[in-house]
Structures are given as C-alpha cells and as structure tokens.
Amino acid sequence: MNGDVVTMDKLVSLCKRRGFAFLSSEIYGGLGSSYDYGHYGVLLKNNIKAQWWRAMLQERDDILALDSAIIQHPKTWEASGHVQSFTDPLIDCRTCKLRFRADKLEEAQCGRKPSKHPGETPECDLTAPRDFNLMFETTIGPVKEAGSAVYLRPETAQGIFLNFKHYLQFGRKKPPFGIAQIGKSFRNEITTGNFIFRTREFEQMEMEFFVPPADADHWFEHWLEQRPAWFEGLGIRPDHLRLRAHDQEELSHYSSATSDLEYLHPFGWTELEGIANRGDFDLKQHATYSGQKLEYVDSASGERYVPYVIEPALGVDRAMLAFLADAYDEDEIEGERRTVLRLHPLLAPVKVAVLPLVRKDGQPELAREVYLLLREVLQAEYDEGGAIGRRYRRQDEIGTPWAVTIDHQTLEDRTVTVRDRDSLAQVRAPIEELAREFERRLREPWRSPKLGG
Ligand code: GAP
C-alpha cells in the first residue's frame, strides 16, 4: 500500500520473535486487544517517552510535568462530558452474535465464513444502533454500593485540568504555559485490531497548553508545526506523515478545532496523534461542577480570564508502532536476506552490541571489559553465542545501530571494529575512545537510510 516491504504480519512476527511485544495472557488463549511488552519493547517505549519528555521539559521552559491518579473523582467525568458523550453507536448481529460500530460497519467482518457484513446477506439480523459508553467502570471500597462507582480514566488530560490551580500557585506560571503527563488510559474499545494500534489499555503522552484566549489560534498553529517536526527529528519519513483537519461532524464534544497527525501505516493513513483546540470547555466545566474558580488572575492589573487550551495528545503504543513500521526494512547481504530495524539511534533499544569474534583466546574476557566500560554511558549488550554473522543479524533485527567486535588484533593493540547497522561499514577504533565516539554519534542529526540519497 505504501511502497514499503513492511506488512503488519511481518511486524507482529518480528515483535514476538525478538521480544518486543506479546499477546497478553497468551497461555490462556490471549485477551482481546491486550499486549504485554517484552525487554526490547520496554526499552523502546522508554526511549520514546524520554524523547517526548525531553521535547516538552528540557528543550523549553514553558511546560511543567504532572503524574496524576488513574482513578479520579467520578464528577470529573460528568464535568468533562465523558459520561454523556464518550460513546460509540453499536449494532449487534443477532445471527452471528458479534458487535460492530455503526459508523464502521463497512469495514466489519462477520463471524460466519465466508460471509461478510454489513447486513448484506439474508441471514444478517442487525439491531438498531445503541450508544455504548467506552469507560471502564469499577468500584471504590470492598462493597459495591450506591456512589461507589468510579471510572478508569479514558484520557490523561482531565488530571491536568483538575490540577491546573496548583500550577498557577507553586509553578508561578502565567499563560502561555503547559502541563504534560505520561500515563495509562483505558477505553472499552469495540473496534480493535491492528496489533498495538488500538487497544483497551494504552499509554498516553498528553500536554495541555494554557493560553490567553486571543492567542489560541497562534498556539494551535505552533503545535501543528512542532509535533510533525518531533517525529521527523526522530527519523520518521516526512512523506509518511500528514496533517488532516477534522470537519465539523468529526470534532469531539470539547473541541473547536482538531487536526490529526496521520501516519501511513501498512494498513493505510490513520491517526497517530491528535492536536486540538479545546477552548475553555474543560476549565469552565470543572469550575461549574466543583464550585472552584479556575481562571488566571493578574494581581497587578486585575486582568482575569479562563485560558484556552491547545492539546497535543499521542499514544506511546501507537508511536511505537509508527516508529517500528517506519524502521522495518529488508535487504540482502552476501546473498542472504536480512531483516533490519533502521531505528533512530536515540530510539534503538540497545545502542551497541559487544561481540567477541570467537569464544576463546581471551577474547570473551576482553569483550566483557569493553562491555562494562560502555554500559556506563549507554545501553549495551554482550553476546558471545553463535556465529558472528548470526549475532549481527540478531542485533540488526532489534535495531542496534552499532556493533563492536573484539578479535585477535584487539588483544595486541586494544582496537576493535565498529560495524554500522545501515551502511555496514566497519572501522577500526581504540577501546579507550569508544564511549566518547558513541556519545558523539548519538548527538548527530540522523536521517532514515530508507529515504536514500
Ligand atoms: N485527550 C484527548 C484524547 O485522548 P484521542 O484522539 O482520543 O484524544 C489521543 O487520543 C491519542 O491517544 C490518539 O491520537 C492515539 O495516539 C492514542 N490513543 C487513543 N485511543 C487509543 C487506543 N485505544 N489504543 C492506543 N492508542 C490510543
């Protein structure tokens, strides 16, 4: 579909084979649309989150961090409009007992083989659409009683609005300023699938940027520029990203303008991140429901207003899928097919693999010494098992940008070969300079080799 060799089947199989992600509860047959992240998946997700925090907190001085609770006061979701409006229209088929989103019926597949929905065969017996709330409900305290119902948050954003007041005080912030957080969200999604693209439990990276109302359009444009640039800086090919503005019917209940940043996934163009102008909807709603004043007041001039909010909201899991899909590649080395993840070095789960050429002659001992030296400064991995070619392939598949090989010459002059994942170039370098050299390489601008040129 997009001219790449990558398909979802290949990605899912690589992720399982190399320990990025597994179907959750697999030994019990799996739990629909739930995934567990293995070692390299955790490292990759951590790197994505670290780069997001870096862009939000370290590279600017107008955003502060938050980590709010997953379970919030139930009034939160009444005020936010989620109890009323966070619904999908659902249709049941009485024949195959499956449930579909009314607005996605054309894409739905019926349980009976080889038949297909929507309602096109005489056996299909569809109900009228009914609204179904996507929030997971649970109870607080051991007894399920009136008033004990609470929800698992369906977005991290509301925790930010509930804490807005604190940031005016302790942060001594005057709009424009932002509050950012990363955390789990939960949605009882009906249409799932496409691996980790849409799951019921996922992590969000959301930032609410509070601005004077008159400046909202300017800041909306600012974030529409910033967010694609973040992805491109981390190696995503620009021709695989596009912004698509929502039309009036598509807008969420809180939004006056939203653009989706879309990625050209193996299954087509779909939302990667949402950038919305939420206006003053949330702060005003929470002010009404809580009876508290949620506004900015300038004590010197007496100026007061409820700030507007610009929100870039991204899923960690969805970002991971886009980075993996964009990095996936296949080529041939000396007649042998190779699968390689051409990840930006900053995102690569392991930055450098340390490999003794053979498991004798003192090479493993020296290789371990090099490994211990390197792991002080970056994520390194030591591997001595199997033929060197197979060890390179394994590192290529997990996206390790550099491999250091210790050979007989290393024992003589303390130099090693450094192999580059993408160019396959091998250069000789002294052990003592490796750490500094990799740190330098990590700071260099990087361009996806899949772009050519
Ligand atoms: N606070 C606004 C908000 O939550 P959203 O468009 O519903 O907006 C923002 O979600 C981002 O969160 C999406 O662009 C996507 O990256 C991610 N996301 C949403 N639902 C998801 C799901 N079920 N599984 C994985 N990621 C999801």
Which pLDDT band, with edges at 50, 70 and 90, does 103 fall under? confident
Q: Quick one: pLDDT at residue 99?
A: 79
Q: Quick one: pLDDT at residue 252?
A: 84
Which pLDDT band, with edges at 50, 70 and 90, does 1 fall under? very low
Q: Residue 265 C-alpha to ligand 1 middle, in angstroms?
A: 16
Q: Residue 198 C-alpha to ligand 1 middle, in angstroms?
A: 8
Percent of the chain past pLDDT 70, that is, above it, reads: 95
- Residue with CA nearest ligand 1 atom 22: 198
- Residue with CA nearest ligand 1 atom 21: 198
What atom in ligand 1 is closest to the CA of residue 197? 25
User: CA-based diameter of the chain, in Å?
Assistant: 80
Give the pTM. 0.94
> Whole-angstrom Cα distance, residue 328 to residue 399?
9
Q: Quick one: pLDDT at residue 297?
A: 95
Q: Residue 91 C-alpha to ligand 1 middle, in angstroms?
A: 23
The enclosing H or E element of 107 equals none
- Residue with CA nearest ligand 1 atom 18: 315
Going from the C-alpha of 205 to that of each of 13, 262, 306, 318, 340, the distances in angstroms are 27, 16, 24, 11, 28
Q: Quick one: pLDDT at residue 59?
A: 98
Pocket test for ligand 1, best of 185, 223, 256 (most atoms within 8 A of CB): 185
- Mean pLDDT lowest for which of 147-156, 232-241, 337-346, 356-365? 147-156
For the segment 443-448, the average pLDDT, to the nearest whole number, is 95
- Residue with CA nearest ligand 1 atom 20: 198
Res 121 pLDDT > 70: no
* pLDDT digits 0-9 by tens, 371-427: 999 999 999 999 999 999 999 999 999 999 999 999 999 999 999 999 999 999 999
For the segment 109-126, the average pLDDT, to the nearest whole number, is 60
- Residue with CA nearest ligand 1 atom 17: 315
- Mean pLDDT lowest for which of 62-71, 83-92, 318-327? 83-92
- Answer with the residue of higher pLDDT: 42 or 123: 42
- As for ligand 1, residues whose beta carbon falls within 6 Å of it are 155, 157, 187, 189, 198-199, 202, 204, 206, 271-274, 311, 313-315, 317-318
> Whole-angstrom Cα distance, residue 338 to residue 340?
6
Local structure of residue 405 (DSSP, 8 states): E
Half-sphere exposure for 101 (CA within 13 Å, toward CB): 12
* pLDDT digits 0-9 by tens, 348-373: 999 999 999 999 999 999 999 999 99
Mean pLDDT of the residues in the chain: 93
For the segment 275-279, the average pLDDT, to the nearest whole number, is 97
Q: Quick one: pLDDT at residue 91?
A: 85
Q: Quick one: pLDDT at residue 150?
A: 95
- Answer with the residue of higher pLDDT: 140 or 222: 222
Q: Residue 187 C-alpha to ligand 1 middle, in angstroms?
A: 9
- Mean pLDDT lowest for which of 100-104, 137-141, 260-264, 445-449? 100-104
- Answer with the residue of higher pLDDT: 264 or 172: 264
Q: Quick one: pLDDT at residue 2?
A: 44
- Residue with CA nearest ligand 1 atom 6: 274
Q: Residue 206 C-alpha to ligand 1 middle, in angstroms?
A: 9
Which pLDDT band, with edges at 50, 70 and 90, does 145 fall under? confident
Q: Residue 204 C-alpha to ligand 1 middle, in angstroms?
A: 7
Q: 67-105: string of b/e by CB count within 10 Å (b at 16+)?
A: ebeeebebebbebbebbeebebbbbbbebbeebbbbeee
Q: Residue 108 C-alpha to ligand 1 middle, in angstroms?
A: 21
Q: Residue 325 C-alpha to ligand 1 middle, in angstroms?
A: 18
* pLDDT digits 0-9 by tens, 305-325: 999 999 999 999 999 999 999
Pocket test for ligand 1, best of 45, 202, 270 (most atoms within 8 A of CB): 202
